[in-house]
Copies of this chain bind each other. A is one copy, B any other.
């Protein structure tokens, strides 16, 4: 069955990780886990300073070439009555996060959601964000959603 609308909203605001699928140069899908925050209905993920390959990342090159991506939020649990997932079709864009004050609320949302950015720089050089415009949402939950339960 589907998750209730408020259960979807809550997870989009608070769930710490999503899996991003982009299309690679040969047209096959590629995946990577990402952190993200929601601001004004849009999801944002920074290219942060967690250790990564040098140079422009595959996810950035892929999004520049093909903006159609998938985002998956889900919970695995050995108790299979507690499984759920939320699948987003999204249009992705690479955004320079230089000196645009319009992005300040996005940066604040990311820092508020992830206290880890007190230690890990939020950006590399150049500062980049992936912006995800949500085009459609599908969800599934194994059993009745407990509104107090996020796991």
Q: In chain B, what residue has the closest Cβ to A26?
A: B68
A19 at the A/B interface (Cβ < 8 Å)? Answer: yes
Q: Is there an interface contact between B68 and A29, defined as CB atoms closer than 8 Å?
A: yes
Q: Give the chain B neighbours of A116 by CB distance below 8 A.
A: 78, 80
As for how many copies of this chain the complex holds, the number is: 2
Contact of A31 among B17, B19, B142 (CB under 8 A): B19
Q: Give the chain B neighbours of A78 by CB distance below 8 A.
A: 16, 116
Q: Give the chain B neighbours of A120 by CB distance below 8 A.
A: 80
Write the residues of chain A forming the contact surface with B, with a CB cutoff of 8 angstroms.
1, 16-17, 19, 21-23, 26-33, 50-52, 68-72, 74, 76, 78, 80, 83, 85, 87, 89, 116, 120, 140, 142-143
